[in-house]
Amino acid sequence: MNEPARQDEFNVEALRQKVTAIAPDAAPAAGGHKPVELNPFARQIAEQFRDTNRSPAMLAGQIRLAEFLLILGVGLVATLPAGIAEATDLLAPLLVSACAAAVAVLLLQLADAYQIPSLRAPNRMWRRVMTAWTIGFAVQMAGSVAIDRPMSSVAMLALWYLVGTLLLLALRQALAFGIRHWSRNGIMERRAVIVGGGQPAKDLVRALEQQEDNDIRICGLFDDRGSERSPDVVAGYPKLGTFDELVEFARLARIDMLIIALPATAEERILQLVRKLWVLPVDIRLAAHASRLRFRPRTYSHVGSVPMLDLFDKPIRDWDSVAKRIFDIAFAVAALLVAWPVMLAAAVAVKATSKGPVFFMQKRHGFNNEVINVLKFRSMYTELADPTARKAVTKNDPRVTPVGRFLRKSSLDELPQLFNVLRGELSLVGPRPHAVHAQTGERKYVDVVESYFARHRVKPGVTGWAQINGLRGELDSDEKIRARTAYDLDYIENWSLLFDLKILFLTPIRLLNTENAY
């Protein structure tokens, strides 16, 4: 009786393994993915979604923090002594109030009070909020007694309990109003594209529309099939183009999720789709609402009650991206404070030894394939410079100035990119950005490595995992670009702040090896 369930679980696990195997693929490309020009209608729709929206996960985290600080503040005011002679007098009440706030927020989390539907309808959650606050308040009282700082009277107890209750409920009501307002104006939503057409796509759209408090905004559908098999309008949503056009559409618009409306049994077609789509910095889900295969509950994620199989997740998302951004700003500012004399000396040397500007600006691929202007100290004679980088710098290249040769070998020419980091165009650590028209021999990198554009699912970096593994400088062979891409994809799949710290620590050590730096 249990055999079918085991067989179903094997099938989905096998599919996931094949999908995951695409990620580290850095094999030669059969022509690579060439950008496809969007049709005018699809471009018009994409322009409507250019603005960044609010992430529900980020909003929930901000609300947790706000309620923690609110409960902490109420507790501190209630337990602080009348006069604080020393800073140590504040420590014990602070710890007690922090524990009480942490307990209350943890209980609210366990009660699903930070889910967007719960935040949208606070009247349904007031009992859970009151229960969590009451337990937190009890922890506050017990801790106050333990540190010999009890509240002065029953009346004071009642007052502070009432104040905390009113503040929490008022905050929840204000948040509900804000969430409804943001939802109506398209500010807080997850933007999704349906991949596929026909009846499966129609069934999926209807299932999503039936979800109460649905935060999914369907932006359109893409399908390779003609209108006789895939209608131009499905459940009121237009077909915007082919799968190749979808890649360009998702880069132009701020799309959060691609939902594949195909049966899980259509394995080959799913794999073909994923091979095209996984280079995008989005979640990729396979709709499973119509599947007759029954998997274990942990196999699924859900949009409302609609089950999905997770094929790919957007890397470095939500609070991870916030942590990485704080990390970047802190270390970039520290680096500038330390390196400014070196940068000043380099600027004077560049200006004094050759004609032209101090800085060289080059267009390179950034996050999500966007084009950014990357700063460097100029290392070539101005009249011989090649902003397109079609011809890579080689050993003893006559275009490079004597000062520029030293700057390039020591990588000091890269220091101005700290300003790109502060502007948010680069990260300190990530795949190194390549010039838009860079190529090896007569072929562009995407023609050599099929998964090349997957490097752009995260912000590029001033230094990277490939660079500290010896892949600096000229990319003059197919093997080098494949190896660099493989290291970059490994970094993306295994990212952590500790990984970034490791790369930053090793960078100055590995820079001592100047063999491939010209």
Note whether 75 and 335 are within 8 A (CB).
no
Considering only CA atoms, which of 481, 473, 416, 479 is closest in space to residue 455?
481
Q: What is the pLDDT of residue 82?
A: 47
Domain 3-53+189-314 grouped into CATH 3.40.50.20 = yes
Tell me the C-alpha distance between 142 and 128, whole Å.
21
| Contact yes or no for 424/326 (Cβ under 8 A) | no
Q: Which residues contact 353 (CB under 8 A, 6 or more apart)?
A: 401, 402, 403
Res 462: pLDDT? 92
Low-confidence residues of the chain: pLDDT under 70? 1-35, 79-89, 147-156, 185-186, 213, 264, 289-300, 304, 388-390, 394, 441, 473-476, 512-518
**Token digits for 448?**
């050599």
Domain locations in the chain as residue ranges = 3-53+189-314, 56-184, 319-510
Euclidean distance between CA atoms 107 and 262, whole angstroms = 39
Residue 296 confidence (pLDDT): 54
Under 8 Å between Cβ of 305 and 289: no
In this prediction, residue 154 carries a pLDDT of 67
Asked if 247 and 221 touch (Cβ cutoff 8 Å), the reply is no
Under a CB-based contact definition with an 8 Å cutoff, are residues 488 and 463 in contact? no
Amino acid 298: pLDDT: 57
pLDDT (0 to 100) of residue 92: 74
- pLDDT at site 18: 60
Q: What pLDDT is recorded for position 233?
A: 84
pLDDT value for 417: 94
Indicate whether this model's pTM tops 0.95. no
**Residue 100, SS3?**
helix
